[in-house]
Amino acid sequence: MSTVYDFTAKDRMGNDVSLSEYSGKVLLIVNTATGCGFTPHYEPLEAMYKEFRDQGFEILDFPCNQFADQAPGSDDEIHEFCTVKFGTEFPQFSKIDVNGETAHPLFAWLASEKPFNGFGKGLKNAALNKYAAANNKKYGDKTYIGWNFTKFLVDREGKVIARFEPTDDMGEVKKAVAAAL
Could you give the residue ranges of the DSSP H alpha helices within the chain? Answer: 42-52, 75-86, 105-113, 123-136, 170-180
**Spans of all domains in the chain:** 4-180
What are the residue ranges in the chain where pLDDT is below 70? 1
How much is the pLDDT for 127? 80
Amino acid at 133: A
How much is the pLDDT for 129? 84
Strand partners, 154: 27, 160
* CATH dotted code for 4-180: 3.40.30.10
Which residue among the candidates 29, 36, 60, 177 is catalytic per the annotation? 36
- Residue 85 Rama label (left phi>0; alpha psi -120 to 50; beta): alpha
How much is the pLDDT for 1? 56
Would you call 82 a catalytic residue per the annotation?
no
pTM: 0.95
